[in-house]
A and B are shown apart, each in its own frame.
Chain A
Amino acid sequence: MSPSVSRRKLITAGLATAAAGSGLAVARRLADRYGLIPPDDGGIYGVGQTLTYASQRLLLRHQTLAREFNPSEISKVCPVNGGPPDSEAYRRLASGDFLDWRLTIDGLVRRPSSFSLGELKRFPSSTQITHQACEEGWSFIAEWTGVPLSYVLNLVGVSARAKYVFFFPFAEKSFPLGKKWGSLDMPEAWHPQTLLAYGMNGQQIPTPHGAPVRLRVPRQLGFKSLKYLSRIMVTDTAKNIGKGWGSSSPEHGFSWYGGI
């Protein structure tokens, strides 16, 4: 092989690598612009997370609805993972039937507000019978009643810059942000079936299921339906909150996105 041929090959290979690299970078920027990159996109597993999230978000251009079931299909056994927050404030509110509980909403909103349980119940309510699967594999069907998150977001006036809605449960001594916190992207936050639920199977949500108010995100796995809510915060970035991966789940080896 003559030197000029190998040099040409080298230059071609170099140019091809550079083109592929910059092509990937451009694709990544574009994808980020259209909300196709999850906050936990780092590392080798981030490749899989990003492919899954991006392809599902592209398929979900139109807000598809999770399946709803008949009352006869409601599960007799509704298992739970984990217990209520280990917090004095939570125990005190629980013993007072959550009459003094308030849900704070702040961040990129025009009117930062806080709502009591009674106020949330006076808002237009929505009831759904949906399937909830834990990432572990088990699942149950239950009826949930609450106010659509979109209604509350409209009330407080969300900024056009908003990219995520963060949800925090009660803070605990060893978990200043709460034990299990997380975020939804805007398509999921605006979705008509995404509820701030206060009722389950026709009653107040029982404590192990997230009293007084939990999130219901029926298009994602159960770990996205965060319990024991205390604060909602609208942001344009996932950085600076925890490790910046969008929720506590990636910090324990799980993914941020739960659409699977």
Chain B
Amino acid sequence: MRKTIPKFASWRFAGRLRWVIGGSTSMPRRTAPPHVLLTPFRDSISRMPRAESAYVAGFAAPISKIPDPPRHSAVVRITHWINALSFIGLVVSGFAILLAHPRFYWGEAGGVGTPYVLSLPLPFMRGGPSGWGRNLHFLSAWICVLNGSLYTLSGVVTRHFPKHLLPAKADLAWGSVTRVVSSHLRFERLGVETSLAYNLLQKVTYLAVVFVLLPLMIWTGFAMSPTLVSIFPGFVTVLGGQQSARTIHFFAADLLVLFLLVHIVMVYVAGFRSRTGAMITGHSTARGEHP
């Protein structure tokens, strides 16, 4: 099943040679349209005299033979990448805003000279990064919220959430839970079948991000807006005050950044090309990687 050749080398070199030069013989059945997968290699193709013919002869036929439904729906794929971009914008700009006053308080009001709950070892950079930071933060937030609304609406309408993200009864069986937790703790590479559905830990994590952390970010963000608070005072009084909202906003953001880091590590462990490819083209190349 598994090749002895390390994962990274496998896709980066062997895979690349096979795709670009070898073409038809080792052609995986289930694959993305080749123009998509080959995009990063287009430069090297143009430098190779044979490449163009290999591209046409080797890949044209299997395209029409893709029978499987996509691993991720088009809405999930598009909203995933828009969300990725807007999230990066939010993190970068959030950090820029933070630099203006890297200190956190609890309750309604707080500032230099009052008790704080956390003071980060960062300089107070006044009058600078919080300007463009705030501009970028709000632009990214609008993209994130509109995009997230589309994702959520589509997830409800297409039953994506109950079908793919809500843990099934079988997931919650004790043996199944311990198996998935222990395989994660041992950083085990997961088999092909795991690329076709989410495991329990993925489901719980994604649900927590989509339905707990991101709504909490929006809520605590709203609670820092004096105008929105004048419309819905409960936004902030429930949290104990405007400074509490700011502090919760920061810690929830940290959890989201932690999620992003773990998410990227897990994608690497599971197979970077197949998982990323599935999220771009919709089709997993798992079989090509684990023949």
Contact = CB atoms under 8 A, between A and B. Distances in A.
Contacts of A60: 227, 230-231
Contacts of B98: 137
Interface stretch (B1-9, B135-143, B259-267): B135-143
Interface string A19-46: 0000000000000000000000000110
Interface stretch (A8-16, A62-70, A86-94): A62-70
B97 interface: yes
A135 interface: yes
A199 B113 CA distance: 23
A45 B231 CA distance: 25
A59 B231 contact: yes
Interface residues of A, number: 42
B111 A253 contact: no
B133 to A, nearest CB: 9
A123 interface: no
A81 B227 contact: no
A220 interface: yes
A140 interface: yes
Interface in B214-245: 224-231, 233, 236-237, 242-243
Contact of A65 (B112, B134, B230): B230
A49 interface: yes
Given A73-B108, A141-B109, A49 B135 contact: yes
Contacts of B231: 59-60, 64
B114 A77 contact: yes
A158 to B, nearest CB: 23
Contacts of A65: 230
Contacts of A258: 226
Contacts of B135: 45, 48-49, 253-255
Nearest to A260: B225
B24 to A, nearest CB: 26
A138 B226 contact: no
B108 A138 contact: no
B102 to A, nearest CB: 9
Contact of A137 (B97, B139, B142, B226): B97
Contact of A75 (B100, B114, B226, B233): B114
A131 B109 contact: yes
B126 interface: yes
A134 B111 CA distance: 10
A148 interface: no
Nearest to A138: B111
B131 A66 contact: no
Contacts of B246: 137
Nearest to A257: B227
Given A47-B142, A79-B111, 16 more contacts: A44-B139, A45-B138, A45-B139, A47-B139, A49-B135, A49-B138, A64-B227, A67-B229, A67-B230, A77-B113, A77-B114, A136-B130, A137-B103, A139-B109, A254-B130, A260-B228
Interface of B: 97-98, 100-101, 103, 105, 108-114, 126-127, 130-132, 134-136, 138-142, 224-231, 233, 236-237, 242-243, 246
Interface of A: 44-45, 47-49, 51-52, 56, 59-60, 64-67, 69, 73, 75-77, 79, 81, 131, 133-141, 218-221, 252-255, 258-260
Leading 10 A-B pairs by shortest Cβ distance = A253-B131, A259-B227, A138-B111, A48-B139, A137-B101, A45-B135, A136-B100, A77-B113, A260-B225, A48-B138
11 contacts: A45-B138, A48-B135, A64-B227, A66-B226, A66-B229, A67-B230, A69-B108, A75-B114, A137-B101, A254-B130, A254-B135
